[in-house]
């Protein structure tokens, strides 16, 4: 089934003020895409606002107020991609949008100095896929719609979608989705290895928040170290022995941390650790 028949086109209305909202409470920063009337499709201003939200949340990590982050979208869709309703194909500078606005945002998201989680329901297309790709852990609704609608637009999948589909699904399945515009459900995407877990839509946000709370109560330094090492394994294609060397180096550094001392004390005293 084509993307056009599954996902209604976003409204051409201009973004309402406050499309991106940041809430910080109890150690969790929650970044919210808040334009449900257009399926949270984004424009350049929304990307700027997202970057600002992540930078503010990162400052909260440095100040000790934030220990994990949740990204979500209001309404029935996570993010239907770029808002195409008001674009003039004759004057649109797609390269500037992608290279100057979107790519730096994705790097900012991927380098966030604490664990990040996304709750994705409904349409997860185009830029929406990129936002998920730049998040550490992605939980999707079982009936979410994931794929490449660009066959209907005369464009190509962007926002890291080629890498995501090819790396996780293999070249044949990746090109199948790109040629046909067929969409996967969230459950199918998880089985294919795109994302972490699929849960019923009604349980998605609560489930995601509970996992973020658990991470926020954990050893932040060790989580960030694992995040960085996994990133090196992915981007530098580390082999087994180079990865083991990286683990050894990180373990040696963490051995001098307060978190390790607390964890070891808690183990000996048979109690839950209290990480700070």
pLDDT in tens, 108-125: 999 999 999 999 999 999
148 inside domain: yes
Is it the case that residue 3 has pLDDT exceeding 50? no
Q: Is 264 in the same domain as 141?
A: no
Mean pLDDT along residues 177-206: 96
178 inside domain: yes
30 inside domain: yes
CATH number assigned to the domain comprising residue 110: 3.90.226.10
The percent of the chain in helix, strand and coil, each rounded to the nearest 5, is 50, 15, 35
147 inside domain: yes
Under 8 Å CB-to-CB from 217, ≥6 apart: which residues?
A: 27, 67, 275
3-class state of residue 172 by DSSP:
helix
Q: Is residue 162 a contact partner of residue 219, using CB atoms and an 8 Å limit?
A: no
* Two tokens, residue 80: 């239907």
Q: Is 127 in the same domain as 255?
A: no
Q: Which of 183, 201, 216 is the last residue of a domain?
A: 216
- Exposed, middle or buried by CB within 10 Å (0-12, 13-18, 19+), for 50? buried
Q: Is 165 in the same domain as 78?
A: yes
pLDDT digits (tens, 9 = 90+) for 55-79: 999 999 999 999 999 999 999 999 9
pLDDT digits (tens, 9 = 90+) for 12-57: 334 345 799 999 999 999 999 999 999 999 999 999 999 999 999 9
Domain residues for the domain of 233 are 220-268
276 inside domain: no
- pLDDT at position 92 is 78
Structure letter (DSSP) for residue 42:
B
User: How many structural domains comprise the chain?
Assistant: 2
Q: Is 253 in the same domain as 123?
A: no
Q: CA 169 → CA 173, 189, 217, 228, 259, distances in Å? A: 6, 9, 34, 23, 38
275 inside domain: no
Confidence of residue 245 (pLDDT cuts 50, 70, 90): very high
Place of tokens 């500037």: 96
- pLDDT at position 11 is 40
* Two tokens, residue 85: 């309703």
Is it the case that residue 194 has pLDDT exceeding 90? yes
Q: Is 80 in the same domain as 104?
A: yes
Q: Is 175 in the same domain as 247?
A: no
Q: Is 141 in the same domain as 245?
A: no
186 inside domain: yes
d(CA 50, CA 42): 10
Q: Is 110 in the same domain as 168?
A: yes
Q: Is 45 in the same domain as 110?
A: yes
């Amino acid at each position: 089934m084509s993307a056009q028949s599954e996902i209604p086109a976003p409204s051409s209305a201009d973004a309402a003020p406050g499309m991106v909202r940041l809430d910080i409470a109890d150690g969790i920063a929650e970044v919210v895409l808040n334009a449900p009337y257009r399926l949270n499709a984004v424009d350049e201003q929304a990307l700027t606002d997202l970057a600002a939200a992540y930078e503010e949340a990162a400052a909260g990590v440095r100040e000790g107020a934030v220990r994990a982050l949740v990204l979500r979208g209001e309404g029935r869709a996570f993010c239907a991609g770029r808002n195409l309703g008001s674009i003039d194909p004759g004057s649109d500078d797609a390269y500037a949008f992608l290279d100057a606005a979107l790519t730096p945002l994705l790097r900012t998201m991927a380098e966030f100095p604490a664990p990040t989680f996304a709750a994705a329901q409904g349409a997860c297309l185009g830029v929406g896929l990129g936002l998920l790709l730049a998040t550490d852990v992605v939980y999707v609704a079982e009936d979410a719609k994931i794929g490449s609608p660009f066959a209907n637009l005369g464009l190509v999948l962007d926002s890291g979608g080629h890498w995501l589909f090819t790396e996780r699904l293999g070249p044949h399945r990746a090109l199948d989705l790109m040629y046909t515009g067929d969409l996967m459900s969230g459950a199918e995407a998880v089985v294919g290895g795109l994302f972490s877990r699929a849960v019923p839509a009604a349980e998605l946000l609560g489930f995601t928040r509970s996992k973020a709370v658990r991470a926020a109560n954990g050893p932040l330094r060790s989580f960030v170290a694992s995040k960085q090492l996994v990133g090196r394994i992915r981007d530098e294609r580390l082999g087994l022995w180079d990865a083991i060397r990286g683990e050894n180096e990180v373990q040696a550094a963490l051995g001098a941390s307060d978190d390790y001392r607390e964890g070891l004390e808690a183990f000996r005293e048979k109690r839950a650790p209290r990480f700070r």
